Amino acid sequence: MKRMKRYGWAAITAAVCASASVYAQQMPKESDMQDMMKAMTSLMGGGTNAAPTADFREMKALLPLELEGMKRTKASGEKSGAMGMKISYAEGSYEGTDGGAVEIKISDMGGMGGFMAMAQAGWASSEIDRETDTGFERTVMYGNHKALEKFDTSSRSGEIQILVNNRFMVEVSGNDVDFDALKAAAQKVDLNKLAGLKPAAK
């Protein structure tokens, strides 16, 4: 399973680029464009008013110890920052005896200031429903939380992103797995408990 490590400045850059790419694929409304411009202005200003993030250890505790047919092989967490912005996250890797692999990442992006407005102006404020001969991409709800599901049946790979409480992002990605296994992995994360996590002291 290909994995991309994102630490410090790399974490912020990757997140911004990913959201900008998703945003560019949508048909933005004028209000969304204004939100994006405000977010970019805040980003360029260094995000000096960024709020503290939750303790990554609390997010790490929400990572499942195992998934159906898979054992957790690694779990880690980190808090990092650059340009006045902060991000904390925890991630776990899971492997099955059949060669399938899943990764779960929980991030608190509340410390990224205006970037969150840009993220929400992308898929989180859109309705997406696309289907091809080999896969699909769609926005759905996981309880009270907006989510984006993407899956390719030909490669048996995909990703689920869930926005929680307008600050946390749960990302579940998998290779050589069925979509049902990917969805079951996402449902293993206690989203309501995650939503209730408080920012750690500065």
Q: What is the pTM of this model?
A: 0.76
What pLDDT does 172 receive? 98
Say how far apart CA 104 and CA 108 lie, in whole Å. Answer: 14
What pLDDT does 137 receive? 97
Taking residue 13's Cβ as centre, other Cβ atoms within 10 Å add up to 13
* Any domain includes 119: yes
Q: pLDDT tens-digit profile of 104-122?
A: 999 998 777 666 555 554 7
What are residue 26's phi and psi, to 5 degrees?
-95, 170
For every one of its 202 residues, what pLDDT tens digit does the chain have, with 9 covering 90 and above? 444 334 444 444 444 544 444 444 444 455 555 555 555 555 544 444 567 899 999 999 999 999 999 999 999 999 987 766 788 999 999 999 889 999 999 999 877 766 655 555 478 888 999 999 999 999 999 999 999 999 999 999 999 999 998 889 999 999 999 999 999 999 999 999 999 999 887 6
Task: Give the count of domains, the chain.
Answer: 1
**Would you say 106 and 170 are in contact if contact means Cβ atoms under 8 Å apart?**
yes
Q: Mention every residue, 6+ apart, whose C-beta is less than 8 A from residue 193.
A: 62
Length of the chain: 202
Q: Give the burial string for 131-146 (b: 16+ CB within 10 Å, else e).
A: eeeebbbebeebeebb
Domain that holds residue 26: 8-195
* Any domain includes 201: no
What pLDDT does 109 receive? 84
* Any domain includes 161: yes
What pLDDT does 119 receive? 58
* Any domain includes 97: yes
What pLDDT does 34 receive? 57
Rounded alpha-carbon distances, angstroms, from residue 180 to 13, 15, 160, 186: 31, 26, 11, 10
* Any domain includes 24: yes
The DSSP call for residue 181 is: H
* Any domain includes 1: no
Map tokens 């759905």 to a residue. 140
**Would you say 153 and 178 are in contact if contact means Cβ atoms under 8 Å apart?**
no
* Any domain includes 200: no
* Any domain includes 3: no
